[in-house]
Chain A
Amino acid sequence: MKYNLFYFIQSILIIVLSPLFIGILKKMKATLRGYRGSSVIQPYYDLCKLLKKGKVISNRSSFITAIGPIVILSATITTVFFIPVFYTSMEKTIGNLFILMFAFGIVKMFTVLIGLDSSSTFGGMGSSREAFISMMAEPLILFLMIFLYIETNDFNVFHISFINSKVVHYDTAHLITMVTFVIAILSENARIPFDNPETHLELTMMHEAMILDLSGSDLAYVELSSYIKLIVYLIILINCFVPIGIATTFTISALIIGFLTFIFKLLFCLLGIALIETTFAKSRLFRGAELFPAMISMGIVAITLIYIL
């Protein structure tokens, strides 16, 4: 098993840059809504501000709140090392899709328990909703793995993106699966239509409600982890479904092309999220949950398309 140094560098790059991408997403939303918005590097300022502050913790909180934020951040950072960004190869390496997806389970586990830890109503509400939505979204994640395995006969993300980057024409099933995964991304990262990341309104709260009682550096860790998590999911989407242009050889020109196409695709995805978030409203909890059966049936359509056509 080999781990290329370049994999490491590109992963570090993603960890450093992810607040910037979130800043760009916020800027896009502001522009679409017609106001100036904050600077794109505002998330860095926010994180620094939070890290400088002291913190207040509840007298009811347990070891979950004490170690939770740190473990959440480290689990998310670990996942970054398991994915290709703009360079991939067929070398035998880490990057199992199962471990990647189950690693987000650590994040989910701790955020849900942090919600219950401080004995507040809001935390419990957020946890309950989060657990419910993620339960409904679980089949979509499995479906993603089934489909990618049928296409590439591999579970390694690096290999999947290598194999898929050679494909020129994508079939319909590929696109359908992509749509289902987009829905999974929106639900796992608490975006509209499942949750509104901007507000602290009672009715719209899932992710924000769970971390309501965190403050100072703890909040900074959880926020940074949620930034990185969104970017990691988008990278999985990009590199598993449309990896065209990703560098597969270790030459400077290929790397530059890979980097530029990656940035372009990521910005395109962020624009898509910004469009969804500015044009749709957050739907009711159960209305949102209705999307999942629809997506599962789309998944079944995709599988039949592969096998029958």
Chain B
Amino acid sequence: MLSLIYTQNDWLSKYFVFIIILIFIPVAIYTKGYITEYKKHYCVNYMLFLIILFVASMIGVVASTNAISFLIFWEIMSITSFFLVIYEYMHKENLKAGIFYFVMTHISGLFLMIMFAFLYKYTGSFDFSEILKFSVGFSANQKYIIFILALFGFGAKMGIVPLHAWLPKAHPTAPSNVSALMSGVMLKVALYGFIRVVFIFLRVTPLNCGVIVLIIGTITAIFSILNALLQNNIKKLLAYSSAENIGLIFAALGISMILVNYNLKMLASLALTAALLHCLNHAIFKSLLFLNAGSVLYATSTKNMNELGGLHQKMKFTAICTFIGTCAISAVPPFNGFASEILILRSFIEAITMVSNIWVIVLIFSCGIIIALTSGAAFYATVKSFGITFLGKPRSKKAEHVKTIPLSMNIGQGILAMLTIVTGVFSPFIISEISFYTNNLLGISGKSPSFKNETEIIVFTLILICITVIIFMFNKINSLNKKQEINDTWACGYKSDKPYIQYTGSGFVQPAAKIFGAVANYNKKVNYKRTIYISQTTSDLVEDYLYKSSLKVVNFITTKILKINYGKIQLHILYIFISLIIALVLVLKFV
């Protein structure tokens, strides 16, 4: 147990500990104001205790140097996050979503246990540094087995596509500060595990592994962003968008794995840097957006954007923070999302010119096209989420009577918004910092980044600020002595503009729903009940088909098994005896 105390003295661990603490500080400040809402019905200290345990366990996962402590902390992380998801236990649906999350997270834990057991079998040690020593000797088959187990184990926690269904359920039910931590940090912890196993333990994986990761990443990105586009629940939209960003990171990792295989180390280092940078950026802007959603929920007590609108008048600071987050997520320079987006696209493009195999080129090219479409859709989805929620006129009573937001919540959001700008403008320095590590990991000598690192963004920002100031001054001088009227918006010929003449969230994405609706199982039905109204529904295709059919199979098997279960104690002892013998035989034969 002493090994629990030793911590990893490794750049990758430090980087992720840095991300965890960086996000935790503003979220903690935000929590102070946010929990006042819960004081009436729930126990507040319980939540604070769980959050601290949650963050500590995540740091434990990232810092641990052996498999046992890694798994213990991993389980603590899973269980505390489960209790945080069902914190609002008085709503029955929340419990259902929580149980769903619990099952998924344990599937993940199971795969990881098996994976570390195999690593133990191949190397004879649980210690990471020992595993590292033996890792050169892995055969291709052993690499495949570990890779597949890592993919499922960490993938279920990250939310890659067939295993993503818990994300849009758990995030909306969890309190917003918790979903900020879960989406911003916990997904990154799973990514850390994946990077450690695949890039450090396995080093060079067979080409197929890289191809699988690239394809899964791309599918995750496009599938979840199209789903996000059609959601009207802010937090559900953000949850799907988290899955999209994980898909992007995954695709970049896939490119890197493919390139390592072709021994194009410089480019592989570029793609890995892109993935690691996007981890940091996504952690910052996604937790910012979740905190903003939390503020909206706190002030108006609704998450449905079709009931909101016009919040910019009473929640000015939150509106500005959300605007910054929206710019970052839709890759608008000079905010941070843009820096990593450029690197990811660059690694795609440069990979096309360097790889020699025509099929891999075609694959990377088509994935790149889909990733580009994804970034367009991400712009669409986040503009919807900001524009419909904060701009225009209030669409319901809830959006008119807004509670004031405590100072501490504003400080939390403000810090993250500042970080978004700082990490965006100074991204070249962060990139060169990360690339030292990636160069080192992939065995490239030299201290400078092996790829061209554009410092242009700083120049761009300066020019932009300069010109903006000039035009602003010009505007000030020009508008002296000019009349400025403030009037109602033109109401298309009616007397006054009613809030319902505005576009709603569902109306805003109608063009996309018409073309891509099938991806999100989009259905539109016209109902006649005294008045005519349209009901629009979406559901998760993977959940509908894959999960429900597998549940049916399990149900079928259990009904069959029930027949041999008579409830006699002697029979049960016999079963136990038989299974013991089978287990013993298996152990003797295969271990």
Contact = CB atoms under 8 A, between A and B. Distances in A.
Interface of A: 1, 51, 53-60, 62-64, 70-71, 73-75, 77-78, 81-82, 94, 96, 98-99, 102-103, 105-106, 108-109, 112-113, 116-122, 124-125, 127-129, 131-132, 134-139, 141-143, 145-146, 149-150, 153, 155, 212-213, 216-217, 221, 285-286, 289, 296, 299-300, 303, 307-308
Nearest to B468: A74
B391 A117 contact: yes
Nearest to B455: A1
B220 to A, nearest CB: 18
- The interface size bin for chain B is 35 or more
A121 B501 contact: yes
B379 to A, nearest CB: 7
B139 to A, nearest CB: 34
A56 B460 contact: no
B12 interface: no
Contact of A146 (B309, B368, B386): B368
B497 A116 contact: no
Contacts of B508: 124, 127-128, 131
Nearest to A293: B515
A134 B350 contact: no
B346 A155 contact: yes
A125 B487 CA distance: 21
A116 B391 contact: yes
B482 A78 contact: no
Interface string B511-527: 11011000000000000
Interface in B467-494: 467-468, 470-472, 475, 478-479, 482-492
Contacts of B371: 142
A131 B512 CA distance: 10
Nearest to B498: A119
Interface in B252-300: none
B162 interface: no
A188 B487 CA distance: 31
Interface of B: 309-310, 312-313, 316, 319-320, 323, 326-327, 330-333, 338, 341-342, 345-346, 348-350, 352-353, 358, 361, 365-366, 368-373, 375-377, 379-380, 383-384, 386-388, 390-393, 454-457, 459-460, 463-464, 467-468, 470-472, 475, 478-479, 482-492, 497, 499, 501-503, 507-512, 514-515
Contacts of A129: 511
Given A120-B490, A129-B511, A78 B313 contact: no
A73 B460 CA distance: 15
17 contacts: A63-B316, A74-B470, A74-B471, A78-B464, A96-B454, A105-B331, A106-B332, A118-B392, A119-B497, A119-B499, A128-B509, A134-B379, A141-B372, A149-B352, A153-B353, A216-B482, A300-B366
Contacts of A106: 332-333
Contacts of B512: 132, 135
A139 B459 contact: no
Given A62-B390, A117-B392, A142-B345, 7 more contacts: A62-B319, A105-B330, A128-B507, A128-B511, A134-B379, A142-B368, A217-B479
A59 B488 contact: yes
A75 B465 CA distance: 9
B471 A124 contact: no
Given A60-B392, A105-B331, A119-B502, A71 B368 contact: no
Most buried by A among B370, B377, B456, B510: B456
Contacts of B491: 120
B430 to A, nearest CB: 17
B392 A94 contact: no
A78 B460 contact: yes
